[in-house]
Structure 1
């Protein structure tokens, strides 16, 4: 949460509330606009018949779970108020049902369930015949349900069962038939010789009929059967439409379409005298396992026995939209208010945009939270829902944070005010100790950095160079020889063969060697060339006793040589042009390990922490906890070298992500509990890590989606395409990344469209390595400080230790994991494409989602191809580059 000042003036509260309420009203209007009304004929009479299965929400007849007589009585009492006939599907399972139906005045079309189990068929047939003989309210008997459609029985065996039933009931008035879809009767007309009437199923949804023509198509099917069997009674034993489920062709299963179909058909059936049974009385969630998701949603009532729609009056596309809309507007207002109070310097337009963004995010959250209320979830669905709900809070927080950053930077696009170039005349120049730690760095690169430091225009400073853990004896000797022979007394040099603590250990050694009069400690990386004006440019801040850190941006030189270099450069620029500006207003900048100045007294007390790989950011957080102010000066005062290649670039970002999670684990109490940190400081540190946590979730989702896709392919009867709402957070996250970030770049980062696209691709290419760093950091993975190989030093044998031999194709070198995940996603996309049915919109939508999920891995491949095709020239630091180190665009 940003630093909302809840004790602010009433005027600010009124202004924030006014903007929040206007945004909420707009959101309410959007909800109303998208909740259309569907017209359909009213039906005021009874329904001719309903098919009935008594299982409730958690019962599964396939597992032997049956409703109690009390439950049956409750259902029959409800049904008797709307119909006088019901159809059942099993006789042996509900021996008391016929008598209970009679007590409620219900006529029964009894079913005898048949399958490939001959013993079970014998029990069913005997039970059905016995009940039909003894209960006068049983007028018809259905022997077998869709046994020919599902190939459960050969036609001659079914005919034998039918003949046995008719013979056993010849002395009664009970009529016997079997129930099959309409086309089966046309394909097997010989069945009519063994039945007393024709019982057909007409289900246009399964045939992919659009709702606009579904009723007429059903009437045509009925007429076809009547014409094929003239003089025979044709009973529509099942007809209806589901309220939910996967799209089939142009058929869409929605509550509004179900209500429209049922009411349209009832009007036509009454006018034409059609004998029918609507499928079905109550939703049956257990049918998901056998019929797919739509199988659960054919009821006129849901599984809790609540009506799903009215048979008269207007039809709402979403009956619960008013409750959802009010909840969304209220949540959106609550989310927006802290940000509106914090963004006091923004004008009305960006504040309104912020309020609308909060309303949109709240609406997404409410829709997602409504999923369990409108769907019957399987065990697999519940697992997916648990993942989604766990991610929902994260997604909403990420979107809110990015919306806040967007409006803060896009509408203003402002640069930070430049510091006063000189302090008051009486203020003396403080003594500054400059620390440079190096390990396995090319000696010529370190020497160039030291020469630029010794050229700084400042009256009182020293340079301490600590070479630790360099493994190449030649490099150690060459560096020591140059350092020890340099005549400048301001330069001091020490070497350690095995120094623990990574870079922090070396910096603590430098701190121990620092002269007592030092008031500030400056730190740079070994590849940096600094501007001689560095200290004078920030001198005013050094005189401010409240300031504990003065941070200049990381910047690069020699980034024009290859396309990948440009992409890496501009991707990094985005944070310093956007994120650091955004953080500076709330004294929450990220301290970086180069081009930084730290107050010496605070550093001597706090020291660098040696058990992490991001000692710079960790120290910056502790300095903020200590009450110091951190200043960001957006002026390029030194430039370093880019990572040598894509692998070095990705490993560097993985280390940053791992270190960030280490910091979170170490300082969770300060960030989440009571601490001296302000709300704004906590907010920016936590919000700054959210995109990296999003990358971690992306990796998890990629693995889950591959497994889920394989289930859809190889276990199609058990695994349906997931509810689209389950992947809505992923879609929202990518929508923000693909739309908002380029807009911010266009506003705040001085590069063209090609470079903006390149920066976006480079950022996505890092997703997998960031994800690995996050997961490793969260689980307390033992970290090793990876030294980033630099572009101008790739040919030096004295640089970082060589990688192990690699025998694979060059394009896969170092990115095998990303290509493996890409191959897995593409494999699933191809299999789903070639195994999809006609009009299988569910699979097509899932293929599109898999493609979106694969974009970061495609980005990695694109970066590798550009790297290999780009220029391999990597110039060493030259006199020209040392004389003019600052070539960052402004």
Structure 2
């Protein structure tokens, strides 16, 4: 009941925190009231029309849009006299006193230019609404015409239109300053002053505009000047200090219009309607309208300036936060601190998911942005699940209950009459160094336990020099040690173990399994077999540890990476009877083992697969984090990668075989067991997903740099950055608390874990396309004599990591406008390079050779 109340209060408090954050983020502001707008740019294309591919507007479209703008303006400016826009002045004649500055679009297409000019001349001479011709729009800036060509067109037109029609061209303010002779050939200067594109912050935008106007006035004192374009976007990428936002747009425009009216300056606002076909302009180009593409006003001209309604998005975000909290903590018996920390994180993650999912409802989408959004959302959902699983573990370890099920030797009540069960210790060996295996057997010979046998199971090892010394040593150790040699057997380790069951003493109650490199504590069996007095217990697992961590810095890094799993992950999984069964330091109840069919040979992780079947049969498992055995770490980085590839590939095999048991309708596992196994698999899959996203991002970079494609939005990149930060926090915090590691050792563990991302990703992809792989022995036991070999074992990781890092640097250096999305994208690429370059570092440390390590100080 107390846990339920903690959950309810946490949901309420976290939801309230998110609600107040939404209220705090709603931007409000004052701005001068505006009654009317002198003139605005008018382009009546609809959301799904693209004038750049020859779309045309109809008279009905023109009439509909004129009806929207005429209540607030008495003049419009067009940009073209083709594609149906030549009909705009014909329709404005119906509106008394309405004025049109008719645009003539100039390009590098002389044939089209001729049609534009002819239509413009006809309209000027036959329509009283047309008061001026704007010949060309930023033609010099785009370098579509030379100065001489443009002046020639202006001079020619002057002789072809009636005298009361003004003639001008439209350029940015600096082009007028640069080409003063242009002003001599126009009736007035039509100057574009757009402080947003120049990175001017909103609070300085209006003053900046009139400074440039005054500069033009001083440069051309005898020439009328019109601010032919002034505007501000409501959405899109920032330009240095200039941010695009709805409230900012409203405030800047209302302040500008008020000041222009006060000064008596003529102006034109860009623009009446959003132009969605311009999404290629870094999103910004599509969002300059006073009305959106649905012809709804973005802001009021009078009264308080406030952001558009966000209530549906807020409600969706709050519901998502509550949902993630409940499914994450249901039946978890959390403390209040655990519940609150997780609930706050779940609400933050819910906000991020909704922000990403909501994007198409707020933005104009092109085919490219649909692809980017679809891939991004598909990546965010599993990434969110993984990140929340990390946060759950952080909050549970830091603020939750202390472990309750952790087996502590000597604390389990035992019956005085209970006989010590006969234990059959099985030591499978495949092409192992004999001196290493003999050391393992010597440790087993001195166990402080009277009732056990040892089966040494050699399989598929034709080299007699490897197994003959072991056979002789078993004979020397006595009848307790049975030597079994299967020269050719199918099923790898599992097949050999199944064959060896025929040789197990029929009185055996407990099977024990250790790897060929493990030296065990004499008290191993004495301390742990009492757990089997509970008939429901099928598994007793002790952690893996290693005795050669001091061989080199490389080995020490691997050691700390292993330690984290056994002191953090396994302890937490044990609380829910969901540990991963490992094929060493493992005790199994024989009757349960036989009841579920023994070892299966259809996966290469037969130990984990067996444990899952035992759970499905209703048995339980226990775990102790006390060390009872010490093996050997992989000899090389190649061996380290090979071992992890086998584990990850085996996980994919188990997913294929037992995935249905994890579904909501599955009855063979508890909800908690499903949670742990599913999230554990997600951790494997996340490495593959991370590599896939990194490759896609790498492909996207040249499109951004060369084709000016849109970069992934913040909603797509922030989850990647967040996940990385959470992983760092998880590593540093939980290693300090559970593993008692120093900062340098925690950092070493993180580097070692990250260095395997490519390997795990490859294993996942192999698991998706390959039905089976040959068993690969992890090279151990060669000690300091083993050299890494001539081939650089992190070549692929290095190349991809350097490509990502170089791309990040290139984006940073070319981001002259300091666009936030570009900076976040560059940061994402940089972070994605870290695990790959960690492999480079790991292998480099290996190549440097043994470095003295003092284990007492670690």
Q: Secondary structure at the residue paired with 1:110? A: strand
1:397-546 map, 5 Å: 397-412=385-400, 414-415=402-403, 416-419=406-409, 420=411, 423-483=414-474, 485-486=475-476, 488-546=478-536
Judged with a 3 Å threshold, the aligned counterparts in structure 2 of structure 1 residues 36 and 492 are, in CA distance, closer, same or farther, namely same
Shift of 1:838: 5.9
Per the alignment, residue 680 of structure 1 pairs with 672
- Contact 1:836/1:843 (CA < 8 Å) preserved in 2? yes
Decide whether aligned partners of structure 1 residues 322 and 543 sit closer, same or farther in structure 2, where only a CA change above 3 A counts. Answer: same
8 Å contact kept, 2:537–2:622: yes
**Of 868, 871, 876, the match for 2:850:** 871
1:745 matched to 2:735: yes
Distance in 1 between the 2:634 and 2:700 partners?
A: 37
* SS of aligned partner of 1:109: strand
Give the equivalent residue in structure 1 for 2:651: 660
Whole-Å separation in 2 of the counterparts to 1:666 and 1:129: 76
CA distance, structure 2, for counterparts of residue 851 and residue 195 of structure 1: 52
- What's the counterpart of residue 134 of structure 2? 142
Distance 1:845 1:23 in 2: 27
Question: Contact conserved, 1:421 with 1:536, CA < 8 A, in 2?
Answer: no
1:873 deviates by: 8.1
Q: What is the match of residue 371 of structure 1?
A: 359
Distance in 2 of aligned mates of 1:536 and 1:271: 94
1:23·1:355 contact (CA, 8 Å) conserved in 2? yes
Aligned to 1:207: 198
- The 8 Å contact of residues 422 and 536 in structure 1, kept in 2 or not, is answered as no
- Verify the 8 A CA contact 1:98 1:137 in the aligned structure 2: yes
Contact 2:15 2:347 in 1 (8 A): yes
More displaced 10-residue stretch of structure 1: 721-730 or 120-129: 721-730
Map 1:324-403 to 2 at 5 A. Answer: 324-344=313-333, 346-403=334-391
2:235·2:284 contact (CA, 8 Å) conserved in 1? Answer: yes
State the distance in 1 between where 2:772 and 2:64 align.
Answer: 62
Distance 1:826 1:349 in 2: 39
Preserved CA contact (<8 Å) 1:556 1:888: no
Counterpart CA distance in 2 for 1:83 and 1:749 is 71
Moved more, 234-243 or 472-481: 472-481
For 2:240 and 2:5, the matched residues in 1 are separated by 52
Q: 1:3-152 counterparts in 2 under 5 A?
A: 13-43=4-34, 45-94=35-84, 95-104=86-95, 106-152=98-144
Preserved contact between residue 149 and residue 184 of structure 1 (Cα < 8 Å): yes
Q: Secondary structure at the match of 2:797?
A: helix
Matched, 1:859 2:838: yes
Offset of residue 356 of structure 1? 1.4
Structure 1 distance, partners of 2:771, 2:30, is 61
* CA deviation map 1:862-885 (0-9, x unaligned): 22233233526899xxxxxxxxxx
How far apart in 1 are the matches of 2:45 and 2:114?
A: 23
Q: Distance in 2 between matches of 1:86 and 1:794?
A: 82
2:157 match = 165
CA offsets 1:533-557 (integer angstroms, 9 cap, x no match): 1122112211111011111111111
CA distance in 1, matches of 2:39, 2:427: 86
2:773 maps to which of 768, 778, 783? 783
Point out the more displaced range, 402-411 or 861-870. Answer: 861-870
> How far is the alpha carbon of 1:669 from its aligned partner?
0.7
Q: CA deviation at 1:833?
A: 4.5
What residue in structure 2 maps to residue 849 of structure 1? 828
CA distance in 2 between partners of 1:834 and 1:351 (Å): 43
Separation of aligned partners in 2, 1:49 and 1:42? 17
Q: Provide the C-alpha distance between the structure 2 equivalents of 1:473 and 1:873, rounded to a whole number of angstroms.
A: 36
Shift of 1:514: 2.1
Identify the match of residue 671 of structure 1 among 662, 667, 674: 662
Change (3 A) 1:339 1:843: closer
**Equivalents in 2 of 1:433, 1:66: separation in Å?**
85
Shift of 1:510: 1.8
Match of 2:184 in 1: 193
Cα gap change, 1:104 to 1:627, in 2 (>3 Å): farther
CA distance in 2, matches of 1:788, 1:414: 35
- Quote the offset at 1:598 in angstroms: 1.5
Distance in structure 2 (CA, Å) of the matches to 1:506 and 1:594: 15
Contact kept in structure 2, 1:649 and 1:788, CA below 8 Å:
yes
1:270 aligns with 261
CA deviation after TM superposition for structure 1 residue 517, in Å: 2.1
Distance 1:576 1:501 in 2: 28
C-alpha distance 826-634 of structure 1, shift in aligned 2 (>3 A): closer
1:843 offset after TM fit, Å?
4.0
SS where residue 150 of structure 1 aligns? Answer: coil
Please state whether the residue corresponding to 2:196 is helix, strand or coil.
coil
Q: In 2, Cα distance between the equivalents of 1:439 and 1:889? A: 35
Quote the Cα distance in structure 2 between the aligned partners of 1:523 and 1:342.
34
Return the alpha-carbon distance in structure 2 between the equivalents of residues 734 and 464 of structure 1: 46
CA distance in 1, matches of 2:819, 2:389: 37
8 A contact 1:662–1:780 mirrored in 2: no
Aligned to 1:884: none
Q: 1:844 Cα shift? A: 4.0
SS of 1:470's equivalent? coil
The answer to whether the 8 A contact 1:113-1:121 is kept is yes
- Of 174, 177, 184, the residue aligned with 1:183 is 174
Give, in whole Å, the separation in 1 of the partners of 2:22 and 2:557: 41
Alpha-carbon contact 1:51-1:277 (below 8 Å) kept: yes
Shift of 1:104: 4.8
- Partner Cα distance (2:815, 2:338) in 1: 46
In structure 1, distance between residues paired with 2:819 and 2:529: 67
Corresponding residue for 2:602?
Answer: 611
Matched, 1:232 2:223: yes
Q: Quick one: distance in 1 between partners of 2:374 and 2:856?
A: 47
Cα deviation 1:520-543 (Å, max 9, x = unaligned)? 211111111111211221122111
- CA drift at 1:823: 2.0
Shift of 1:15: 4.3
Correspondence for 1:710: 702
Unaligned runs of 5+ residues in structure 1 are 1-8, 797-801, 876-886
In the superposition, relative to structure 1, how do residues 789 and 749 fare at CA in structure 2: closer, same or farther (>3 Å)? same
Deviation at 1:684, TM superposition (A): 0.6
CA RMSD of aligned residues (A): 2.4
Is the 2:41–2:270 contact (alpha carbons within 8 Å) kept by the matching residues of 1? yes
Q: Is the 8 A contact 1:511 1:604 kept in 2?
A: no
Q: Output the CA distance in 1 between the equivalents of 2:335 and 2:420.
A: 40
Cα deviation, 1:635-664, whole Å, max 9, x if unaligned, reads 211111111122222221222111111111
Residue of structure 2 in register with 1:221 after alignment: 212
Indicate if the aligned counterparts of 1:343 and 1:351 stay in contact, CA closer than 8 A.
no
Deviation at 1:594, TM superposition (A): 0.6
2:247 aligns with 256
Q: Point out where structure 2 has 5 or more consecutive residues left out of the alignment.
A: none
Deviation (angstroms), 1:145 = 0.8
How high is the TM-score relative to the length of structure 1?
0.91
Give, in whole Å, the separation in 1 of the partners of 2:709 and 2:844: 37
Give the match for residue 799 of structure 1. none
Q: Secondary structure at the match of 1:685?
A: helix
The match for 1:818 among 791, 797, 801 is 797
